[in-house]
Amino acid sequence: MTTHDDALESLLDTAERWAAEDPDPATAAALRRLMARASGAGDDGGGAGSGGGGDDDGGADASDADGVAAEAAAARRELADAFDGTLEFGTAGLRAALGPGSNRMNRVVVRRAAAGLAAFLLEAATKDPSNTYMPRAVVGYDARWNSDVFAAETAAIFTAAGIDTFLLPAALPTPILAYAVRALDAEAGVMVTASHNPPADNGYKVYLGGRAVEESGRGAQIVAPYDSLIAAKIAAVGPLSSIALAESGWHVLDAHFVSGYGTAIGALAAPAAFPARKLKIVLTPMHGVGGETATDVLAAAGFADVTLVTEQAEPDPEFPTVSFPNPEEPGALDLALAAAASLGADLVLANDPDADRAAAAALDPSTGEWRMLRGDEVGALLGAHVAARRAMLATDGGGGPAAGGVFANSIVSSRLLSRIAAAQGYRHEQTLTGFKWISRVPGLVYGYEEALGYCVAPELVRDKDGISAGLLIAEMAAAAKAAGRTLFDTLDDLSLEHGMHASDQLSVRVDNLALLGTMMAALRQSPPSSFGGSAVEVFTDLAAGSEQLPPTDGLLFLTEDGSRVIIRPSGTEPKLKCYLEVIIDVGGRTDLNAARTRARTALDAVLADVRTALGL
């Protein structure tokens, strides 16, 4: 029978072995401090203090003892979590809090991941049916804590393994890494980033390309079965001491290559078709790495009146002005909106810290207030704009609907894009959540997901790209301004043509991940019969998969009046996410305001029923 003391002793032994081989003295020291606290040998805090009589001293001693015991218990829980299995490598690569332990992001975990990925690439090369080849890989990183270290060690491990390796020259946006995978025809790309996660996190995102993957997936993030194949290679890596790191031999890409991304993205602008450039823009990179690149791209396209939010302009891994460095989070755009109002700006653009997402805000004429557009609203606007651009720029050789092409968005995103695509002569496909799926759609010309991710140039970046999306949003806004209109007027046009598609979300954050499975199981066992007063007509358990979609943990409800509810666990955060959409008929332009009120009322009714179904 294992006792509490035995379990602690085993845990301390595991931690000591880890600390002994950890190449990072900072995490090794942090781990040993945690071990000391867990074993009750932490700092004594200076005793009971001075003064007081015997009874007071006894009370202070008891209080201190309780405090030491509580600290030791907390340290044991933290230590146990740090070694609760091995950080799982999946289709999102790796992402977790920084710190020591097998369940954290650190140099030990990253070295093993790099060695496993190298082994996968080398094995794929030897299996090439025509001839073996020397795999190529490109590595990038953002400005989070340890991103540069993780990237440099990855480059050293790849090089030692015999992989031709390219390292981006500085902390740069994720879209530049995705661009580099395709531009260099590399077999793999690694981006060290945790995107919009809290400051304590970091991650390891993997792309495949070149001869390592099928054509439709070249330059895209990994999907099954590549995740499990790479994970198996990581699991097979021997002792940490067996992983070789080269001292040199990789190529550091120069500034000319980085500017090549900016030139290619800037060339997306279509001044012949959309010449307007009179637009005052406020831009925030949210303490991330996108500010300089986004500003340069906008300037190259003719948008010179761009003001960076001073407090958020420079990379800062602490993200000091926001609770979460995510434009979707309440309050994240407060500084940008205040700057826009002060400057009399026309448009706010925001990127998340690695600049693969884009948000937009403008002055809503119906309320006289600045507001951020929802991801589905920007997704629809960009879809209509991409279709209009392709039609105006079409030549006899192609470029318009006659040349083919597909619009795609994730299943949790609005159905409005499918109606826009059909009206413009494009096919439309739905995918699972995530750009690893959207970017793989054959013939893709435009794709988006509601979480502020947009792919407007899949031939350049087969992933979401907040910088190219921001450029086309600016182009749209300038064209609307030149015509005496706004982005909101364009949204109204889409509502008149296709019906008002209104969406909302409910996110339930949990402390215990097991609760997500419990909640999903309860919904499967007793699914709701109606939402917003409309009976559920279709109930689909997405875990079963279909011809159109691979299996995923999610539930889809369609009601008789066309309302849709999708409930799924988040793939990157401890949340249960609920996506709501209603479609409201609009009687004409004079009915728009009333239709908005009806849509909000309908969403509120559906939202109330979702809360009830979740027991909230």
Q: What is the CATH number of the domain that holds 105?
A: 3.40.120.10
For residues 166 and 75, state if they share a domain.
no
The torsion angle over the Cα atoms of residues 192, 196, 202 and 204, rounded to 10 degrees, is -40
Does 493 fall in a domain? Answer: no
For residues 512 and 470, state if they share a domain.
no
Asked if 576 and 508 touch (Cβ cutoff 8 Å), the reply is yes
Does 88 fall in a domain? Answer: no
For residues 506 and 598, state if they share a domain.
yes
325 preceded by a cis bond (ω within 30 of 0)? no
Does 134 fall in a domain? Answer: yes
For residues 344 and 433, state if they share a domain.
yes
Does 306 fall in a domain? Answer: yes
Q: Break the chain down into helix, strand, coil percent, rounded to 5.
A: 45, 20, 40
The full length of the chain comes to: 616
Q: Which helix (H) or strand (E) holds 558?
A: strand 555-559
pLDDT for res 61: 65
Query: 215: burial class by Cβ within 10 Å (0-12, 13-18, 19+)?
Result: exposed
User: Backbone phi, then psi, for 3, in 5-degree steps?
Assistant: -90, 170
> Considering 39, 102, 147, 195, which one is annotated as catalytic?
195
pLDDT < 50 regions, the chain: 1, 43-55, 396-400, 402
Which of the listed residues 459, 484, 509 is the one where a domain comes to its end?
484
pLDDT for res 54: 42
User: Backbone phi, then psi, for 128, in 5-degree steps?
Assistant: -60, 125
- Annotation says 130 is catalytic: no
pLDDT for res 573: 74
Does 494 fall in a domain? Answer: no
- Number of Cβ within 10 Å of residue 73's Cβ equals 13
pLDDT for res 57: 52
For residues 202 and 278, state if they share a domain.
no
Question: Across 162-231, where does the E strand assignment appear?
Answer: 164-167, 188-192, 201-208, 220-221
Does 530 fall in a domain? Answer: yes
Q: Provide the domain count of the chain.
A: 4
User: Backbone phi, then psi, for 531, in 5-degree steps?
Assistant: -140, 130
pLDDT for res 511: 82
Which of the listed residues 460, 484, 508 is the one where a domain comes to its end?
484
For residues 203 and 297, state if they share a domain.
no
For residues 307 and 221, state if they share a domain.
no
| CA–CA distance, 483 with 276 (Å, rounded to integer) | 9
Give the DSSP per-residue string, 216-238: GGTTEEP-TTHHHHHHHHHHT--
For residues 518 and 426, state if they share a domain.
no
pLDDT for res 603: 97
Does 220 fall in a domain? Answer: yes
pLDDT for res 62: 61
pLDDT for res 104: 97
| CA–CA distance, 427 with 199 (Å, rounded to integer) | 40
For residues 78 and 99, state if they share a domain.
no
For residues 589 and 532, state if they share a domain.
yes
For residues 315 and 377, state if they share a domain.
yes
Asked if 412 and 579 touch (Cβ cutoff 8 Å), the reply is yes
Query: Among 343, 419, 346, which Cα is nearest to 379's?
Result: 419
| CATH number of the domain encompassing residue 515 | 3.30.310
For residues 442 and 472, state if they share a domain.
yes
Does 52 fall in a domain? Answer: no
| CA–CA distance, 196 with 147 (Å, rounded to integer) | 14
Which of the listed residues 426, 461, 484 is the one where a domain comes to its end?
484
Q: Which domain holds residue 587?
A: 499-613
Q: Look at residue 317 and give its three-state secondary structure.
A: coil
